[in-house]
Structure 1
Amino acid sequence: MLSAHQLGCRRGARQILFGIDLELRAGEVLGVLGANGAGKTTLLATLAGELPVSSGRLELGGRALSGWEPPALARRRAVLPQSPSLGFDLSVRDVVAMGAYPFPELTPAAHEALLREALQQADATGLAERRYPGLSGGEQQRVQFARVLAQVLGARAAGEYRVLLLDEPTSSLDPRHQLLLLRTVQALARAQGIAALVVLHDVNLAAQWCDRLLLLARGRTVAQGMPAEVLTPQSLEQVYDMPVQVLPHPLHTRAPLVVFSAGT
């Protein structure tokens, strides 16, 4: 399990995260919510091992994350950053195949099957023969999602804990593909025991598709727990600094419906 206890992180002289406690449990989706500048991306980058811990503990499988060698870590966790960049004129298949790099033991047939599955899960099969730079922003996001899916799916034969870290994966997607992506993350967590952390801005999408939520404000935890427990007017107004109503959802009994107001 990937877990943090009283986690702190600095960027230069500035303290960004303060005393964060969380566990990314196998088979569960944790959504991270907060206003701009709350520390969501810093938290994800720290959990991924891309930023050093300044205080507290961050462990994977009972070992400090900093003690993991990069090849071993790549077999256990996959990261989709907020703005993936790619400066080479590669095919979509080549981009998705990057996710399989940590698994050189795959046979050609298994490698091909992995790429097909990742593309299908990301609804990107129809893009496979195109060049990546020629895709729209939303199409590129689906291809990058397929890449990280190939990485977490490639490790399933080992039966080990795997974690998927996604930073605003729905930001450039149309409503249909937003739902498809989050449904895929939830389904894979359930079926394959993958732990997932998803940074989102849409509170209602998070409430619908995440098992637990973490609300951040100024680098600190405001609330953490089930959506109905976390999404209260008091907590949401503290995080977003605007009036809010929390109503029963007309379609999803487990998740509330959050309605923000600009006030008067």
Structure 2
Amino acid sequence: MLSAHQLGCRRGSRQILGGIDLEMRPGEVLGVLGANGAGKTTLLSTLAGELPASEGRLELDGRALSGWTPAELARRRAVLPQSPSLGFDLSVHDVVAMGAYPFPEIAPDAHEALLRRALREADACALADRRYLGLSGGEQQRVQFARVLAQVLGARQAQQYRALLLDEPTSSLDPRHQLLLLRTVQALARAEGIAALVVLHDVNLAAQWCDRLLLLARGRSVAQGTPAEVLTPQALQQVYELPVSVLPHPLHAHAPLVVFGV
């Protein structure tokens, strides 16, 4: 399991994160919420091993994350950054195939089956023969999502822990594909035992699709727990500095409905 205890991170002399406790549990989706500058992306990058922790403990399967090599980490966790960039005009197939690079042992037939599944799960099959740089921003986002799915699904050793970390994956997607992406993340977490962390801005999407939420403000945890436990008027007003009403959701009994500015 990927876990953090009193995790802190600095960038230069600035303390960006401090005192963060969390566990990424197999089969669950953990949503991270907060205003701009709250430390969401820094938290994800630290959990991914891309930024060093300045304090506290950060462990994967009981071993310090700093002790894992990049190649080892690539086989255990997949990361979708906030703004993935690609300067080469590759085919969509080749971009998705990058996700399978950590697994050279996969046989050719199984490799192609993995890529087809990743494209299908990301609703990107129709894009497979296109050139990546010719796609719209939303289409590129779906292809990048397929790439990380190929990576996290490529690690199929029995009982092996796998983590999927997604930074604002819905930001350039239309409403249909926002729902499809989050539904896919939740379904794969359940079916495959994947531990998923999703940074989101839409609190209502987070309430609907995440099992637990972490609410951040100025690099500190304001609340952590189920959506009903975290999305309270007091906590939301503290984080977003807006009037807010929290209502019963008319369609989803487990998820509160948050309305800002009321």
Q: TM-score category by the smaller chain?
A: over 0.9
Task: Give 5+ residue unaligned stretches, structure 1.
Answer: none
Residue 167 of structure 2 corresponds to 167
Residue 110 of structure 2 corresponds to 110
Residue 229 of structure 1 corresponds to 229
> How far apart, in 2, do the equivalents of 1:19 and 1:207 lie?
24
Query: Pairwise mapping of residues 1-264 of structure 1 onto structure 2 (< 5 A)?
Result: 1-261=1-261
CA deviation string 1:14-45 (max 9, x = no partner)? 00001000000000000000000000000000
> How far apart, in 2, do the equivalents of 1:160 and 1:242 lie?
43
Deviation at 1:70, TM superposition (A): 1.1
Deviation at 1:69, TM superposition (A): 1.0
> How far apart, in 2, do the equivalents of 1:116 and 1:79 lie?
20
* Matching residue's letter, 1:160: Q
Q: Which runs of 4+ in 1 moved over 4 A?
A: none
Deviation at 1:158, TM superposition (A): 4.1
Percent identical across equivalent pairs? 85
Secondary structure of the 2:22 match is strand
> How far apart, in 2, do the equivalents of 1:155 and 1:77 lie?
9
> How far apart, in 1, do the equivalents of 2:49 and 2:205 lie?
27
> How far apart, in 2, do the equivalents of 1:115 and 1:159 lie?
22
CA deviation string 1:98-135 (max 9, x = no partner)? 00000000000000000000000000000000000000
> How far apart, in 2, do the equivalents of 1:109 and 1:120 lie?
17
> How far apart, in 1, do the equivalents of 2:158 and 2:15 lie?
38
- Over the aligned positions, Cα root-mean-square deviation in angstroms equals 0.6
Deviation at 1:156, TM superposition (A): 1.7
Task: Give 5+ residue unaligned stretches, structure 2.
Answer: none
CA deviation string 1:211-241 (max 9, x = no partner)? 0000000000000000000000000000000
